[in-house]
């Protein structure tokens, strides 16, 4: 039973890794833009509205305020700043050139400082030196100068060509909403020689990561024109950069109530999916930028990659005929920011589905979400996610304490009848059917459950996997420190201290476990702590902390049961 118990855990974890690295195949998203209707501005709200269908209007009666534009010849930048982000728009394409998140920094290789000076300072009673600040903020726009910028508007299937790099006029030089918390607008306009005037109106919510994009396409000719609008997100993918094996960085979409995603490195030829696209864009492990159309049922999404390693994700709208002297009005909503579960859930558009909580084993998503909510609840009281994980471990152990007692008692009883099982094996070594019958009769007469030792561990495996996904994909735990050298509970221990200590506790626990097999099997089982240590080396340090504390409590429980049964 000892062998089965440990093999159950090891094989389960092995399945995790094999499934992750060799068998996960993610669906392929594609993206194109969708037409949207102009509606009266909804004001500042946290929840993103679903816009209404496209509309036509008379050119003489525009729905927006009249603004005076300067004639633009060369592209210029316009900075938009809120308490959450700093965005830079360019008049080239009336598009997004940069989007930096103020509250999130890039992964810092210097975060795990040298532990030994800290230990010396601690022993000497000296104050720890102030942590250096890394001002390298997360940038969600990855383009090169020769590439079009994200949120460019194109009409590739229309008779009238509107290029993604056309230079627009703008009604502002800078928007600053860090002090003034009211929403503001940035309006771009350009009249093309073919008799089409395009206006793009961005409305910013200073307290959120949501942006409204309204498009007006005016037909100034004497003939009707046909337009199929595309709103595009472009991303440059460095072929030399390494990939995160635990996450899919690339196009993502929510199509027919199902998440669709694909790694950028896997994008090759142009692919299209849809309609019924609720939203689509580009994602990273902890962040995403998505475009939300007004009518998902009429929206499809296109995805492609060119020879310059530029990945395009385009939301495509339906064909729209604009009569002479009228305008086609379209509306989109944008979300550019972190994959924060509570924040995405409030939008009411299933954006939270982009978080990969069930990436390993489907069906455990709700367990991961529940663990995240509970850990955040504990963190509100203790102010440290590492301490919150320790408390969670203790509570889980208390919950499974009766099962643990049953397990240890079962293994102890199995050890007592082991000599009799050995005798039966010798007696019926040539009759396996009879051996099975006599062995079960022996178990029954001594009231021993041969599977009693496996049950507690098997029950904890879903908790282990759920916590693994929570620690790996919840942005709330990203860069969350525990103490000293552990400055990111979602990353591995940089010095491998906790995995080694965990392996030592695993060895102690193995030595204390009653031996129910032959001596050779018992010696082989002692190798398992080494295997566990090796597997845990690259696990999130928060997960190693959970297993370490679980082992320590299990050792104490085993000592208690062994003394009680003497």
Q: Mean pLDDT in runs of 10 for the chain (566 residues)?
A: 47 51 40 35 40 47 40 81 94 93 75 53 58 69 85 74 84 89 91 86 92 90 84 83 72 89 80 85 92 86 83 84 87 93 90 82 81 92 92 88 73 74 78 80 75 67 83 87 86 90 87 63 74 87 90 85 68
Q: What's the burial of 159, exposed, middle or buried (CB within 10 Å: 0-12/13-18/19+)?
A: exposed
Q: What's the burial of 535, exposed, middle or buried (CB within 10 Å: 0-12/13-18/19+)?
A: middle
| Bridge-based pairing state of the strands 174-176 and 77-81 | parallel
Give pLDDT, residue 117: 59
Region class of 309: left (phi > 0), else alpha (psi between -120 and 50), else beta: left
Please tell me the distance from the alpha carbon of residue 159 to that of residue 196, in angstroms, as a whole number.
11
Neighbours of 149 (CB within 10 A): 24
328 and 453 together in one domain: no
Number of domains in the chain: 2
Q: What's the burial of 288, exposed, middle or buried (CB within 10 Å: 0-12/13-18/19+)?
A: buried
Please tell me the distance from the alpha carbon of residue 529 to that of residue 509, in angstroms, as a whole number.
9
Would you say residue 128 lies in a domain? no
**What Rg value do the Cα atoms of the chain yield, rounded?**
30
Give pLDDT, residue 127: 59
Last residue of a domain, one of 354, 383, 401: 354
Would you say residue 95 lies in a domain? no
319 and 215 together in one domain: yes
Would you say residue 115 lies in a domain? no
472 and 440 together in one domain: yes
284 and 405 together in one domain: no
Would you say residue 308 lies in a domain? yes
Task: Answer for the pair 106, 138: CB distance below 8 angstroms, yes or no.
Answer: yes
267 and 320 together in one domain: yes
Would you say residue 504 lies in a domain? yes
Give pLDDT, residue 515: 60
547 and 465 together in one domain: yes
Q: Which domain holds residue 337?
A: 29-42+51-61+140-354
Nearest to 113 by CA among 486, 481, 387: 486
Nearest-10 crossing angle of helices 418-427, 432-445: 160
Stated length of the chain: 566
Last residue of a domain, one of 299, 333, 354: 354
Task: Answer for the pair 276, 256: CB distance below 8 angstroms, yes or no.
Answer: yes
Give pLDDT, residue 289: 94
Nearest to 264 by CA among 245, 289, 239, 287: 239
374 and 344 together in one domain: no
Would you say residue 90 lies in a domain? no
Last residue of a domain, one of 354, 389, 421: 354
Please tell me the distance from the alpha carbon of residue 278 to that of residue 53, in angstroms, as a whole number.
14
Region class of 372: left (phi > 0), else alpha (psi between -120 and 50), else beta: alpha
Task: Answer for the pair 224, 237: CB distance below 8 angstroms, yes or no.
Answer: no
> In sequence order, what are the residues at sequence separation of 6 or more whose Cβ sits closer than 8 angstroms to the Cβ of residue 160?
192, 194, 195, 196, 225, 227
Give pLDDT, residue 150: 92
Please tell me the distance from the alpha carbon of residue 99 to that of residue 122, in angstroms, as a whole number.
40
CATH code where residue 272 lies? 2.70.98.90
197 and 278 together in one domain: yes
Give pLDDT, residue 510: 77
Nearest to 8 by CA among 406, 452, 396, 412: 452
216 and 266 together in one domain: yes
Please tell me the distance from the alpha carbon of residue 552 to that of residue 379, in angstroms, as a whole number.
22
Residue 191 bridge partners (DSSP): 197
350 and 368 together in one domain: no
Task: Answer for the pair 411, 1: CB distance below 8 angstroms, yes or no.
Answer: yes
494 and 347 together in one domain: no
Decide: helix, strand or coil at residue 499.
Answer: helix
- Identify the DSSP state of 475: G
Give pLDDT, residue 562: 72
13 and 56 together in one domain: no
Give pLDDT, residue 123: 61
């Amino acid at each position: 039973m000892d062998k089965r118990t440990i093999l159950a855990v090891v094989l389960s974890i092995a399945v995790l890794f094999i499934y992750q690295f060799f068998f996960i195949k993610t669906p392929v998203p594609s993206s194109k833009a969708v037409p949207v209707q102009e509606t009266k501005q909804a004001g500042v709200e946290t929840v993103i509205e679903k816009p209404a269908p496209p509309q036509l209007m008379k050119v003489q009666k525009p729905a927006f305020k009249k603004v005076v534009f300067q004639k633009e010849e060369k592209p210029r930048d316009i900075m938009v700043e809120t308490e959450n982000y700093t965005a830079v728009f360019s008049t080239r394409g009336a598009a997004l050139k940069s989007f930096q998140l103020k509250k999130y920094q890039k992964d810092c290789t210097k975060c795990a400082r040298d532990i030994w000076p800290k230990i010396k300072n601690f022993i000497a009673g000296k104050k720890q030196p102030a942590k250096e600040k890394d001002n390298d903020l997360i940038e969600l726009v990855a383009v090169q100068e020769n590439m079009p910028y994200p949120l460019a508007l194109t009409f590739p299937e229309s008779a009238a060509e509107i290029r993604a790099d056309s230079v627009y006029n703008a009604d502002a030089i800078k928007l600053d909403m860090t002090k003034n918390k009211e929403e503001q607008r940035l309006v771009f306009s350009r009249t093309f020689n073919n008799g089409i005037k395009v206006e793009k109106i961005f409305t910013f919510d200073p307290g959120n990561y949501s942006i409204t994009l309204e498009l007006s396409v005016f037909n100034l000719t004497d003939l009707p024109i046909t337009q199929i609008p595309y709103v595009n997100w472009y991303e440059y993918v460095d072929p030399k950069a390494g990939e995160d094996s635990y996450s899919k960085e690339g196009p993502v979409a929510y199509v027919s109530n199902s998440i669709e995603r694909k790694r950028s490195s896997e994008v090759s030829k142009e692919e299209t999916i849809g309609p019924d696209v609720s939203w689509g864009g580009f994602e990273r492990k902890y962040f995403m930028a998505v475009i939300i159309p007004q009518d998902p049922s009429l929206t499809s999404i296109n995805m492609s990659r060119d020879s310059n390693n530029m990945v395009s994700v385009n939301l495509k709208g339906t064909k729209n005929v604009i009569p002479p002297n009228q305008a086609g009005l379209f509306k989109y909503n944008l979300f550019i920011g972190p994959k924060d579960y509570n924040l995405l859930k409030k939008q009411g558009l299933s954006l939270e589905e982009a978080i990969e909580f069930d990436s390993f084993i489907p069906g455990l998503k709700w367990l991961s979400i529940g663990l995240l909510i509970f850990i955040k609840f504990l963190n509100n009281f203790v102010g440290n996610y590492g301490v919150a994980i320790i408390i969670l471990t203790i509570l889980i152990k208390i919950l499974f304490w009766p099962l643990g007692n049953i397990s240890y008692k079962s293994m102890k009883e199995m050890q007592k009848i082991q000599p009799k099982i050995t005798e039966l094996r010798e007696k019926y070594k040539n009759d396996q059917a009879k051996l099975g019958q006599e062995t079960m009769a022996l178990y029954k007469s001594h009231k021993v459950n041969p599977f009693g030792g496996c049950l507690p561990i098997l029950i904890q495996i879903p908790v282990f996997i759920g916590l693994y996904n929570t620690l790996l994909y919840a942005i709330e735990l990203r860069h969350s420190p525990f103490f000293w050298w552990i400055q990111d509970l979602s990353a591995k221990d940089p010095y491998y201290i906790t995995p080694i200590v965990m392996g030592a506790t695993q060895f102690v626990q193995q030595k204390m476990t009653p031996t129910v097999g032959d001596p050779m099997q018992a010696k082989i089982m002692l190798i398992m702590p080494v295997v566990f240590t090796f597997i845990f080396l690259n696990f999130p340090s928060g997960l190693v902390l959970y297993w370490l504390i679980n082992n320590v409590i299990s050792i104490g429980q085993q000592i208690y049961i062994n003394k009680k049964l003497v």
